[in-house]
Copies of this chain bind each other. A is one copy, B any other.
């Protein structure tokens, strides 16, 4: 039976981290809300379920229902070989995933620092201040940590070494999204993180991921999702500046 993924039909958003894992695993799934009548099915599933999610995405896998992006990936990692089977390895991948999730949430808040319930236009000055700090201090702090993992004890193809995990897929998506949102700033930052850039390219070239990215199933980025391009947030800033003064 195909898995059923429930997520907003017009954005990559947090659902994209799940889609990438499903695509890499090569398992059949239905992106429910993108089917005719799917939105109504999604709303009904949120209200009526035994294990209702606070918000999409959530996944129905036969009798199992699971929500929260990182928890869905924990489940898929075990089922489809996208995480190690030993306790330390499983926990480590999930720990990295949680750190990616933290950075995703901070990225969202660059354009919505005051309230999700308000438009971006109603919190633009605050968004500029928050984005400046994000580019100056937060991206370098997170990227240093990821680059360090990829470089120890020697440069590795993936976070765990030679095998891919769901955290690699998510890290690809995070880089992809940040480059979309902040092209100028990322261009200046990227050179300092060669292993992260190589990981991004390596994931993009995996046969199933490459096929997915070229398909209509991959939605384009837009200004409704997590990664949004607002020119004024990317201009005139100094990524990594504060970090380098430390």
Name A's B-contacting residues (CB within 8 A). Answer: 51-54, 63-68, 70-71, 74-75, 87-88, 91-92, 94-95, 98-99, 102, 105, 109, 113-115, 117-118, 123, 126, 129-130, 133, 137, 142, 145, 148-149, 242
Q: Which of A53, A92, A137 has the most CB of B within 10 A?
A: A92
Cα of A52 to Cα of B95 in the assembled complex, Å: 10
- The SS class assigned to the A binding surface is helix
B-side contacts of A145, CB under 8 Å: 52, 54
Given A64-B87, A105-B105, verify A71-B54 contact (CB < 8 Å).
Answer: no
The 4 closest A-B pairs by CB, nearest first: A115-B133, A68-B98, A68-B95, A54-B99
B-side contacts of A52, CB under 8 Å: 145, 148-149
A-B residue pairs in contact (CB < 8 Å), sample of 27 = A52-B148, A54-B102, A54-B145, A64-B87, A66-B88, A66-B91, A66-B92, A66-B95, A67-B95, A68-B94, A68-B99, A70-B70, A70-B98, A74-B74, A75-B91, A109-B109, A109-B113, A113-B113, A113-B114, A113-B126, A114-B130, A114-B133, A117-B133, A117-B137, A117-B242, A118-B133, A126-B129
User: Which partner residue on chain B sits nearest A128 by CB separation?
Assistant: B114
A51 touches B114 (CB 8 A): no
User: Which partner residue on chain B sits nearest A130 by CB separation?
Assistant: B114
A180: min CB distance to chain B, Å: 23
User: Which partner residue on chain B sits nearest A146 by CB separation?
Assistant: B54
A92: min CB distance to chain B, Å: 5
A51 touches B115 (CB 8 A): no
A64 touches B51 (CB 8 A): no
A154: min CB distance to chain B, Å: 14
Given A109-B109, A126-B114, A137-B115, verify A74-B51 contact (CB < 8 Å).
Answer: no
Q: Which of A53, A66, A114 has the most CB of B within 10 A?
A: A114
A95 touches B114 (CB 8 A): no
Given A117-B242, A130-B113, A133-B115, verify A71-B53 contact (CB < 8 Å).
Answer: no
